[in-house]
Structure formats: C-alpha cells, structure tokens
Amino acid sequence: MDRRGQLINRVTQSFEANFGQSPQLIISAPGRVNLIGEHTDYNDGFVLPCAIDHETIVAISPTQGELVDVIACDYDQQDQFGINSAFEHQTDEWKNHVRGVAASFKARGLNIASARIAIGGNIPQGAGLSSSASVSVALGKAIATVNGFDDIDETQLALIAQQSENDFVGCACGIMDQLASARAVDGHAMLLDCRSLDFEPIAIPEELSLLIIHSGVKRGLVDSAYNERREQCETAARHFGVSALRDLDEQRLKDGKGDLDDVSYRRARHVVTENKRVLDTAEAFKAKDFQAISKLMSASHQSMRDDFEITLPAIDQLVELVARIIGDSGGVRMTGGGFGGCVVALVPHEEIQAVETAVATEYVTPDGTPAIIYRCKPANGVTIVKS
C-alpha cells in the first residue's frame, strides 16, 4: 500500500473507532514547498510554489445537533465545540485551526451543520512545508462539500483558510500556502500573483528531481519573528507611499531610501529583488536554463540570509553542501518562513545519490540525529478522495 493509502486507512480507522460509523466524505489537501519567492506573498508580490505528495486527510460526516466533534489522529486528541459558539483560542494549536476554519465560514455568513471529523497527515511539522495550510484547506473543502456550499471554489477555499490563520490562529500569513494547497497542478509549479490571485502552471523541468532536506531545526510561524518581518515591510511601504512593496522597483527603492531605517530598507530590498527573481525563474524553467535557475536560487538564499535575516547557520551549511555537489546544474535554497525548517533543492537525477550521501556524512542536526531527506513529486491541489 502506498503512502496515501496508509494515511487514508489510518484516518478512516480512527473515525470508525471513535464514531462507530464510516465517514461520508474523505478529502486530501497537499503540503507545499516554495521553490522561490519568500516573504513576497503578503507584500502582494510573486511566488513560485508547488504542492508536494505529502498531505492532510480529513474524514467527515454531518450529524444532528449543535456540536462539531473532532479527532486528531496524529496526537490522539479530541475536541468539541458548538457550531454557533464564538471562537475561543485553545492551548492545543491544532484545535485553533479547526475552530478557525469553522469561524471563517461563520464570519462569511455561512452557517455550517454539526459534524464528526477525523484529521491525519504525513507532512513534517515545523518544517516550513505548510502543514497548517493543508489542514485548513482540507477542512474547508470538507465543510463546504457536506454543507452543499457549491459556489465556493478552490480560490475561495484558500481565502477561507487564510482568514482562519490571520483572524483566529494569529499568524499574519499571505495567501501563497493556502492557494498552492488548493489549486496546484500535478507536475507543475505555480507562478502566483498574490495581488490578483491569477496564476500560471509552470512545468518543472523533467531533468530535475525535487528534494526537501529537513535541517532538524523546527520552527513555528506564530512564535517566530514572522510577524515582525511583516511589520517592517509595512513600515517600508508607508515610507515609499505605496500600498505594498510589490509596487516598487530597484531604482525607486535606491533613490527613495531617505531617512528610512536600515533594517526596514534591507527588508524591502529583499522583497523587491525577490519578486524579480521569481519572474526570472519561471522563464528559466520554461527555457530549461539550469545555470539561470542555479544563480537565481542562490541569490534568493543570500538575500534571505543577509537582507531578510531569516536563515540559520545550520540552514546555510546545508545549502552550501548541496550547491557544492550540483554546481550550476540545479538549484538550492532555504524554503519557508525561516528560522529553521527545510532546504529545497532541484537536483539532476544522476546527482541525487551524491547529495543524499553528502548530507548523511557531513551534516548533523542540532540534536545529533541524521537529516531527513524527502524525495517529492509535484502534486495536485485539494481533491475529494471518497464521496
């Protein structure tokens, strides 16, 4: 049985054991890895993520009454809340994601029915692979489907999931993670305009394999400096009199620095240059220009390290190690919000073993365990597995 089949079985069995019935509906939503375009999404910029074949499974059945009962298979924990009750923040983070999605429907004037829900996933936690967005998108699709909200499309599901994060969970994230989980296309990255929400599927060159290497440093967006970085970007945007840093180019950035503090200026410089790198990388993918891909991903990592200051020594070491092996035949950079998590690498097929061997022999995680390497495939967005 493949990885998805094992996960579906685990969630289904938990649902049946706790609720004494089979679920009416099973939904899958993938995690995502961002190939390039970090911290540009909430600045109305451009990103280039792809969904990965690690996912969240949600099993659901509507019930009678006023309650939503939820089982978290990965934690062996339960939650229960009223469909008409106000959102109340919970100590267990996973509960806030479930309650937040329900609250987001309510905030849009959509009354949901009571339900029984089981949730499980195989996306690494704290790795910057959007496990939380995957949970929220899968829950949103499950709730919308069992309640007959047929006019809610995948983009609206992503917006509901983002609202849950922003207004209820407490993370000021942009739309990238949720939209990638909702609308990704198998075999492709997604060139996404985070202002208009328009996107173009961009085929990932078939000569390259997608590797994700976990640094062993777990991270949490809400508790990290993520929100601080966003505030610094907003400070810079106000200084330049624009609604978002998306509206600046490099020349205007240089000419208009004035009395803007150096930290906010460097944050803005990262965003402005990263937006251009995203667009250039999409063109490099189309042209299969591997040297350009290598240079652009390297420049992105340097900008995250020096201007946005979100990498760590362990992450930098991993990037340097992989880059030494693949040279300009692929690309490597940190991925995710920063302060830990993963490195993403586009590696020629013939170099996979060399990369994996080097990581195993030359890199040690902070707790002394080997780094975990995930060989991933670009996947589809949210889907109904069983109805």
Catalytic residues: 177
Q: How far is CA 242 from the centre of its chain?
A: 27
What's the CA gap between 275 and 85, in Å, rounded? 41
What's the CA gap between 308 and 74, in Å, rounded? 34
CA count, 13 A, side-chain hemisphere, 38: 35
Chain position carrying tokens 């009571």: 114
What's the CA gap between 192 and 98, in Å, rounded? 26
What's the CA gap between 178 and 381, in Å, rounded? 10
CA angle, residues 340, 268, 236, in degrees to nearest 5: 120
**273 burial class (0-12, 13-18, 19+ CB within 10 angstroms)?**
middle
What's the CA gap between 37 and 175, in Å, rounded? 13
Chain position carrying tokens 């939209």: 179
Report which of 45, 339, 57, 324 is spatially closest to residue 197, judged by C-alpha positions.
45
Task: Fill in the amino acid letter for 275.
Answer: N
- The phi-psi region of residue 34 (left if phi > 0; otherwise alpha if psi is between -120 and 50; otherwise beta) is beta
φ/ψ of 82, rounded to 5, equals: -80, 145
